[in-house]
């Protein structure tokens, strides 16, 4: 359709475009001959998952036979902090808790297809935990938890949804996994992701499409979509995700759960090689987390916890920020959780915005911010309007330019011989276009689809080391500009919309510009967490009929279609702080959670 639009007014140019496109398609056809190895691996991986889930069901059965009268409902209803207390006090057995979550996770998977692997070593780990003295038990003693696919677990693949990473099991646990186990947690499943992790849908050619348990026509978001779906439906009580452009926060807002994106250097995870670059860095070690595109510096991928309340995130962060992390990975500074910041009760000075100026928010997104501001003001906090400086420059030149500084070469290399998932086809097609064609199309579309034109320009890459250094410098300068504006208003924290409600399946690649609400803070490297505060109302849905968007382009039209039919789905807000202030971010999140749970919103 885009080519037809271009060819009609420019017949000679159309001939040139078709010639160049034909050359690109010929190259793609030659590449398709390499796909046989990938297609051979995928059925084997699918059979391995079937066997693993059968082993999971068998373990659940064995554990249930030990306690035939086990009632799982009271266990599954316990919040994490209470569950951890009962496990420490031996009021609940490790077997009963693990059995409860094994059974529930299998039920959720049957409904939404969220699991990729069963970590059978959890049974052996449970037996080892039972031998510990009380003084040796960690903060997460006996807590079953789920992990996003790229977290390395010894003997298991970390696929990132890519066939190239199949049949390459991890030789050892990643650093984060080791720390969690040292704290007594029992990782028992790995969860689904989109191919390459560069999408906020949740689909790949190996394990298929994960659906949102709150509405099966909707996506759970991505790239930590399997985690969001499993947590939302109660199949896990604590999970670990990763975040490059909202990959923790979008699934949490789409599925109505809580998540935190940490600062890059406070949890730094993964050199393993299953995602897309040096995306992985954060408050924990990224050693042992796979990536499809390693080497990126100006757009950070970080690790972070996902859970069903703020207290669970706090407990997880207390456990992670231990001396174990620094000992296992000396590049991560030893900076324990600062209780005095989290427990402080002084009123906050809170900046807020309803729109970032790049993507018009849905009616429910804007209403959620207004509602939260009113509650915060009534509680004695001060709220101050805030505007994002130079948002187009930040999102297109800095974020997109940083993400594809290599012109997408690393990503395309990881996809060689693979089947490209529908959620990735549009991006991969653009990246595979000859550079001249990208340049020509960008110049033409500048007057028709300016955001698409700028994206085409940015995915051409920076070309030279000098340009790459200039790009890194531009990111640093923008970060300082943003911080200066923050400090000029003497802000403690910032409140913004989270991207929601959940998109209909298939729409994330068609309305990707709307991810600006989350991806900005990856480029800035600010801690950011999401808290569900309300649900989509019938009035929100009625107001959506008048949605036009700021650019009135295809992205705006697709966004409107993507969020239609969402009455009753969760709507969250985003809580943001300056780098290294995770404790303050969690304190702000807890305040929002408490106020919204205690209030009765007027009809």
List residues with catalytic annotation.
148, 223, 247
Q: Which of 334, 377, 326 is nearest to 352 (CA)?
A: 377
Identify the residue whose tokens are 């796979």: 290
Q: Which residues contact 90 (CB under 8 A, 6 or more apart)?
A: none
In angstroms, the CA 521 to CA 246 distance is 8
CA 493 vs CA 268, 415, 480: distances in Å:
23, 40, 16
In angstroms, the CA 479 to CA 466 distance is 20
3-state secondary structure of 202: coil
In angstroms, the CA 590 to CA 345 distance is 11
Q: How many CA atoms lie within 13 A of 221 on its CB side?
A: 35
- The helix or strand, by DSSP H or E, that contains position 535, with its residue range, turns out to be strand 528-535
Helix 94-112 × helix 80-88 angle, to 10°: 150
- Alpha-carbon torsion (55, 58, 62, 68), positive or negative: positive
DSSP secondary structure string for all residues of 107-154: HHHHHH--EEEE-TTHHHHHHHHHTS-GGG--TTTT-EEEEETTB--B
Q: How many residues does the chain have?
A: 603
Q: Which of 278, 251, 517 is nearest to 402 (CA)?
A: 278
Give ∠ CA 424-261-122 in degrees, rounded to 5: 85
CA 600 vs CA 352, 436, 567: distances in Å:
22, 57, 18
Q: Which of 476, 493, 500 is nearest to 573 (CA)?
A: 500
Q: Which of 302, 246, 272 is nearest to 156 (CA)?
A: 272
Spatial contact of 385 and 351, defined as CB atoms under 8 Å apart: yes
DSSP secondary structure string for all residues of 354-396: S--SSSPPPHHHHHHHHHHHHHHHHTT-EEEE---TTHHIIII
H-state helical runs in 256-338: 310-320, 323-328
Strand partners, 350: 383, 493
CA 561 vs CA 198, 504, 507, 550, 565: distances in Å:
22, 8, 8, 15, 9
CA 34 vs CA 27, 215, 293, 427: distances in Å:
12, 38, 21, 20
Spatial contact of 562 and 549, defined as CB atoms under 8 Å apart: no
């Amino acid at each position: 359709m885009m080519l037809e639009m271009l060819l009609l007014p420019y017949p000679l140019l159309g001939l040139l475009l078709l010639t160049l496109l034909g050359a690109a398609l010929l190259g793609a056809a030659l590449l398709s001959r390499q796909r046989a190895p990938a297609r051979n691996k995928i059925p084997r991986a699918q059979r391995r998952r079937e066997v693993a889930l059968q082993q999971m069901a068998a373990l659940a059965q064995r554990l249930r036979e030990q306690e035939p009268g086990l009632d799982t409902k009271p266990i599954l209803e316990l919040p994490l902090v209470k569950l951890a207390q009962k496990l420490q006090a031996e009021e609940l057995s490790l077997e009963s808790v693990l059995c409860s979550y094994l059974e529930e996770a299998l039920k959720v998977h049957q409904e939404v297809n969220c699991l990729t692997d069963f970590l059978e070593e959890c049974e052996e780990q449970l037996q080892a935990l039972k031998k510990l003295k009380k003084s040796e038990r960690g903060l997460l003693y006996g807590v079953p938890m789920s992990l996003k696919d790229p977290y390395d677990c010894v003997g298991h693949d970390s696929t990132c949804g890519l066939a190239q990473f199949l049949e390459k099991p991890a030789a050892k646990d990643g650093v984060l996994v080791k720390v969690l186990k040292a704290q007594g947690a029992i990782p028992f499943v790995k969860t689904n992701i989109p191919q390459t992790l560069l999408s906020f849908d949740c689909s790949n050619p190996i394990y298929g499409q994960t659906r949102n348990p709150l509405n099966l026509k909707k996506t759970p978001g991505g790239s930590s979509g399997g985690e969001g779906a499993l947590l939302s439906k109660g199949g896990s009580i604590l999970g670990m995700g990763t975040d490059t452009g909202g990959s923790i926060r979008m699934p949490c807002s789409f599925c109505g759960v809580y998540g935190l994106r940490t600062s890059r250097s406070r949890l730094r995870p993964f050199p393993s090689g299953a995602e897309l670059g040096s995306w992985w860095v954060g408050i924990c070690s990224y050693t042992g987390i796979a990536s499809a595109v390693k080497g990126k510096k100006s757009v950070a991928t970080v690790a972070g916890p996902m859970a069903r309340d703020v207290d669970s995130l706090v407990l997880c962060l207390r456990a992670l920020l231990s001396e174990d992390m620094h000992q296992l990975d000396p590049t991560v500074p030893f900076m324990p959780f600062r209780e005095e910041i989290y427990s402080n009760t002084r009123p906050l000075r809170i900046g807020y915005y309803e729109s970032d100026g790049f993507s018009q928010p849905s009616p429910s997104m804007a209403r959620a911010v207004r509602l939260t501001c009113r509650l915060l003001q009534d509680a004695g906090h001060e709220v101050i309007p805030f505007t994002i400086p130079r948002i187009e420059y930040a999102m297109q030149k800095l974020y997109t330019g940083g993400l594809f500084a290599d012109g997408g070469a690393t990503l395309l290399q990881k996809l060689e011989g693979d089947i490209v998932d529908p959620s990735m086809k549009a991006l991969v097609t653009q990246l595979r276009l000859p550079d001249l064609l990208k340049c020509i199309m960008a110049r033409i579309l500048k007057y028709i689809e300016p955001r698409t034109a700028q994206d085409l320009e940015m995915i051409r890459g920076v070309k030279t080391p000098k340009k790459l250094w200039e790009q890194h410098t531009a990111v640093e300068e923008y970060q300082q500009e943003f911080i200066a504006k923050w400090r000029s208003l003497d802000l403690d924290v910032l409140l913004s919309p989270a991207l929601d409600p959940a998109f209909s399946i298939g729409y994330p690649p068609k309305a990707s510009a709307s991810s600006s609400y989350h991806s900005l803070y990856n480029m800035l490297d600010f801690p950011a967490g999401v808290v569900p505060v309300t649900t989509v109302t019938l009035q929100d849905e009625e107001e959506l009929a008048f949605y036009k968007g700021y650019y009135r382009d295809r992205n705006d039209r697709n966004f409107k279609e993507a969020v239609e039919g969402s009455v009753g789905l969760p709507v969250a807000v985003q809580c943001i702080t300056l780098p290294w202030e995770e404790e303050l971010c969690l304190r702000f999140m807890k305040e929002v959670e408490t106020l919204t749970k205690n209030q009765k919103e007027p009809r």
